[in-house]
Structure 1
Amino acid sequence: MEVKINREIRDYTESLFFGLSLRQFFFSVLAVAAAIGLYFGLRSHFGLETLSWMCILGAAPCAALGFIRYHGMTAEQLLWAYVKSEFLMPRRLVFRSTNMYYEALKGRLHKHEQERMKRND
């Protein structure tokens, strides 16, 4: 008997239906419903081969939403993060270099320059 244990505890998902998590099962059913809807909605307008490709292309995004994980985020979290970063809180990031050595000695350098100016006069 073998028990599979994830390296990261956050990666644990409970299997509910057919080895899928509830989220994956829900989006799989949604994909099947989208394919069936496309089939019955478009069967009078297209041939069987074209219609089959349209059903696949229509169901693929729905199915992918249940399985996509990017940097530990689900598809909805990824979409929300994108909307937040691009539209709700857009910021222009500007790089400004700082010379920490110059900042630390700025007072002393300024004093040294004034002394040199007095000597040259």
Structure 2
Amino acid sequence: MEVKINREIRDYTESLFFGLSMRQFIFSVLAVGVAIGIYFGLQGLLGTETVSWMCVLGAFPFAALGFIKYHGMTAEQFLWAYIKSEFLMPKKLTFYPVNVYYEALKQTIEKHEKEELRRHD
């Protein structure tokens, strides 16, 4: 008997329905619902092939929300991070260089400069 354990324990997700997590299952049901709604809504207006493509295009965003992770973030976490970085946070980044060597030896340098001024006086 073999028990599978994730290498990274934080990646563990409990499968509830059909091997899907609760999040994946909810978004899958939502995607199927949207596809069915599009199918019955556009069936009389467009041809079968066009309606089938519209169903796929309409269901894709909802399915993607449940399954796609980017840098360990879920879709809504990624969307919130994007909105914060692009719209809420200031864009202007200013760089002020710091001479670390000068800052470390600042007192010593100032002391030598004062001594030089005294010698020349």
**Could you say which residue in structure 1 is the equivalent of 2:10?**
10
Q: CA deviation at 1:86?
A: 2.4
Which secondary structure does the structure 1 equivalent of 2:105 belong to? helix
Deviation at 1:43, TM superposition (A): 1.5
**Which is further off, 25-34 or 1-10?**
1-10
Cα displacement (A) at 1:115: 4.5
CA-to-partner distance for each residue in 1:63-99, whole Å, 9 max, x for gaps?
Answer: 0100011121111111122222222333533222211
Question: TM-score with structure 1 length normalisation?
Answer: 0.85
1:81 aligns with 2:85: no
Match of 2:101 in 1: 101
Q: Please provide the CA RMSD for this pair.
A: 1.9
Please state whether the residue corresponding to 1:2 is helix, strand or coil: coil
| Structure 1: runs of 5 or more not aligned | none
Alignment of 1:1-121 (within 5 A): 1-116=1-116
Q: Which moved more, 1:85-94 or 1:110-119?
A: 110-119
Residue 5 of structure 1 and its aligned partner are, at CA, apart by 0.6
Corresponding letter in the other structure for 1:39: Y
In the alignment, the residues of structure 1 paired with residue 50 and residue 80 of structure 2 have an alpha-carbon distance, to the nearest angstrom, of: 34
TM-score normalized by the length of structure 2: 0.85
Distance 1:56 1:42 in 2: 13
Structure 1 residue matching 2:23: 3-state secondary structure: helix
